[in-house]
């Protein structure tokens, strides 16, 4: 967003000078550094390729040496890949960035193809022999990874088939994903005479002015319309591509591969979905309350994110930084020190710019380096919580670096734990410092709204995904009108009669990147939110004595199964009632918000 889009020329409000320095990912600057990394990775992959046909005969020491070789390759390719992806994210419109990204993806695929034999040969070992090997302490750095890889045995193809799928991927799904990102990044919104990015226009939906929200929604809908069929075609193509992959790999449902990657059973995920759907009344009750706070009989879809604050204050970058550092410092000095490095060492890119990818994310990069955060700063209070959220990811990534490439990252189902926890700590700190009843109401409403969007809206989006994947496989290609019908159907199921869904909203599925790049991802937000709320409840109950267990959880990364990681902080993820306990916390937040509304004289 430009200074004009934030409504100010102030550099601090737009965070205009907050840009990351990604050059340190490379040994030498520019394309030469990228090629140097990939050349080294190619040479190492060629060396390891000589082990083809010998995995079954390796002892633990030889296998450990081989795994360290894979680790080295992952570091080299990871540095090159992250550099080009991060450069592309901040400027998708630059053809040079796109060309470099494609070249790195092609070379990375060639490297991975050389090593496909390992997964197949490792999967072919009998269980007793495989378990004997991974129990050896020399393989502790890759133990959980090696065990997890064997879960894919029923879904692996022959090596020639795997090679073909790998080689074709760069011109298949990944190419369509890149096209979608470029199409959405180029969207411009004509609103009240201003030329805004999509992010800038969507931020206007938080305005306390109902007429401004309506105009913003109409302008967003108008901007989505010209390319709607193109984005629908991309989505259809990727739906078909995934259907083919799932059929060839014998996955029983569209979401089964995602569940396997998340180390979650199909049954446990369905239990989560059922639990949230069974409590849709919480979301409907909130939106009915919000209608009263906004002074209308029934809110519309574009009113859902409207601020209930009596003033619409902007928050500058430096004020937000101080708030977040104070919040993290109130919990742990060690974590606060890590957070400080993100600000001091240029690990964040914050301003909205033309061509920049929308949303926010944390890139873990590689264990030998450090994470980076991408934001689209629009200077509202919600951005402060987004900053705290992404910093939670960053802290998790940073503290888990000693686990190495095989164990630094968690499954998606636990990936939101630290981010939501950090956001909740920041919210709690903000609330402590807020005495005015109207300001307290606004904070409570924003927190509750975030939880509802993360849990209920994401499950509604999961149900939309389920509907479109199922229909694409049973009835064929979907029209954009049919996408809109299914989107409306699942949104209405969640919102009920508490929200009026306008006709324009039926096309808003078409800019959401998760449907495109990571099918099945969205339920992990609900999973992570409910888990993080439960973890935070334990912190509230135990105080400072809880901090060591929480730090242990973060440092563990993905070195254990999710249920084992949950036990570190006394959470039983196998308990079917676990999700209801998290939903009870959200319901209590709603009760507190209603009480605050009464205290502020708004009800």
Residue the block writes with tokens 């205009």: 16
Select from 547, 510, 560 the least CA-distant residue to 233. 510
pLDDT tens digits along 255-292: 999 999 999 888 888 989 999 999 999 999 999 999 99
Please state, as a whole number, how many other Cβ atoms lie within 10 Å of the Cβ of residue 190.
12
pLDDT tens digits along 485-523: 999 999 999 999 999 999 999 999 999 999 999 999 999
User: What size, in residues, is the chain?
Assistant: 603
pLDDT tens digits along 132-180: 999 999 999 999 999 999 999 999 999 999 989 988 888 899 999 999 9
Q: H/E element holding 270?
A: helix 266-277
pLDDT tens digits along 346-375: 999 999 998 999 889 999 999 999 999 999
Please give the distance of CA 252 from its chain centroid, rounded to a whole number. Answer: 25
Q: H/E element holding 374?
A: strand 372-377
Buried-state track 544-566, b at ≥16 Cβ within 10 A, e below 16: eebbebbbebbbbbbbbbbeebb
The answer for residues whose C-beta is within 8 angstroms of residue 147's C-beta and 6 or more apart is 134
- Residue limits of CATH 1.10.1370.20 in the chain: 172-311+387-603
Averaged over 8-27, what is the pLDDT?
89
Q: What are phi and psi of 351, to 5 degrees?
A: -70, 155
Architecture of the domain delimited by 172-311+387-603:
Orthogonal Bundle (1.10)
pLDDT tens digits along 333-344: 999 999 999 999
Q: Name the pLDDT band for 4 (thresholds 50, 70, 90).
A: very low
Q: What is the pTM of this model?
A: 0.82
pLDDT tens digits along 54-68: 999 999 999 999 999
- Residue limits of CATH 1.20.140.70 in the chain: 23-170
Q: Is 333 exposed, middle or buried (0-12, 13-18, 19+ CB in 10 A)?
A: exposed
Distance CA 23, CA 18 (A): 15
Distance CA 354, CA 320 (A): 23
Select from 543, 544, 573, 569 the least CA-distant residue to 555. 569
Query: What is the fold, at CATH topology level, of the domain defined by 23-170?
Result: Butyryl-CoA Dehydrogenase, subunit A; domain 3 (1.20.140)
Considering the chain, what is the average pLDDT of its residues? Answer: 93
Q: What is residue 277's predicted lDDT score, i.e. its pLDDT?
A: 96
Q: Name the pLDDT band for 17 (thresholds 50, 70, 90).
A: very high
Q: 603, 291 in Cβ contact below 8 A? A: no
Q: Alpha-carbon torsion 305, 308, 313, 319, what sign? A: negative
């Amino acid at each position: 967003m430009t200074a004009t889009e934030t409504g100010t020329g102030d550099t601090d409000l737009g965070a205009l000078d907050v840009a990351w320095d990604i050059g340190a990912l490379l040994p030498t600057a520019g394309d030469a550094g990228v090629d140097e990394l990939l050349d080294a990775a190619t040479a190492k992959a060629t060396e390891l390729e000589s082990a083809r046909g010998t995995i079954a005969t390796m002892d633990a020491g030889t296998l450990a040496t081989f795994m360290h070789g894979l680790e080295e390759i992952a570091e080299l390719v990871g540095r090159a890949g992250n550099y080009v992806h991060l450069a592309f994210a901040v400027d998708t419109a630059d053809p040079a960035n796109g060309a470099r990204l494609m070249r790195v993806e092609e070379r990375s695929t060639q490297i991975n193809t050389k090593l496909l034999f390992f997964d197949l040969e490792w999967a072919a070992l009998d269980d007793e022999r495989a378990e004997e090997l991974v129990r050896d302490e020399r393989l502790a750095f890759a133990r959980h990874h090696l065990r997890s890889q064997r879960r894919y045995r029923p879904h692996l193809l022959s090596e020639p088939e795997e090679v073909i799928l790998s080689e074709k991927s760069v011109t298949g799904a990944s190419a369509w994903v890149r096209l979608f990102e470029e199409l959405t990044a180029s969207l411009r919104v004509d609103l009240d005479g201003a030329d805004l990015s999509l992010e800038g226009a969507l931020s206007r939906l938080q305005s306390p002015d109902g007429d401004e929200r309506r105009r913003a929604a109409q302008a967003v809908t108008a901007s989505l319309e010209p390319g709607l069929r193109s984005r629908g075609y991309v989505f259809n193509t990727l739906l078909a591509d995934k259907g083919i992959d799932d059929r060839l790999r014998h996955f029983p449902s569209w979401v089964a591969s995602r569940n396997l990657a998340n180390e979650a059973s199909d049954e446990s995920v369905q239990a989560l979905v059922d639990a949230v759907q069974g409590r849709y009344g919480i979301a409907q009750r909130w939106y009915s309350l919000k209608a009263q706070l906004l002074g209308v009989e029934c809110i519309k879809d574009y009113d859902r994110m409207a601020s209930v604050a009596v003033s619409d204050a902007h928050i500058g970058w430096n004020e937000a930084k101080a708030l977040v550092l104070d919040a993290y410092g109130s919990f742990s000095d060690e974590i606060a020190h890590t957070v400080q490095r993100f600000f001091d060492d240029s690990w964040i890119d914050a301003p909205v710019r033309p061509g920049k990818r929308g949303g926010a994310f944390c890139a873990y990069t590689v264990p030998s380096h450090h994470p980076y955060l991408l934001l689209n700063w629009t200077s509202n209070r919600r951005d402060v919580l987004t900053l705290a959220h992404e910093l939670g990811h960053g802290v998790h990534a940073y503290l888990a670096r000693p686990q190495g490439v095989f164990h630094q990252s968690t499954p998606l189902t636990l990936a939101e734990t630290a981010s939501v926890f950090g956001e909740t700590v920041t919210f709690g700190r903000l609330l402590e410092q807020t005495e005015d009843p109207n300001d307290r109401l606004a904070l409570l409403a924003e927190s509750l709204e975030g939880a509802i969007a993360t849990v209920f809206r994401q499950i509604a989006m999961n149900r939309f995904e389920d509907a479109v994947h199922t229909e694409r496989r049973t009835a064929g290609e979907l029209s954009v009108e049919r996408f809109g019908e299914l989107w409306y159907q699942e949104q209405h199921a969640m919102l009920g009669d508490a929200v009026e869904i306008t006709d324009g909203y039926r096309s808003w599925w078409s800019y959401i990147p998760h449907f495109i790049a990571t099918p099945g991802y969205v339920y992990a937000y609900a999973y992570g939110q409910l888990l993080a709320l439960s973890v935070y409840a334990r912190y509230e109950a135990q105080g400072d004595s809880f901090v060591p267990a929480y730090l242990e959880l973060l440092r563990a990364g993905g070195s254990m199964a999710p249920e084992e990681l949950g036990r570190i902080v006394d959470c039983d993820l196998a308990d079917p009632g676990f999700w209801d306990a998290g939903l009870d916390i959200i319901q209590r937040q709603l009760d507190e918000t209603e009480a605050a509304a009464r205290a502020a004289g708004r009800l």
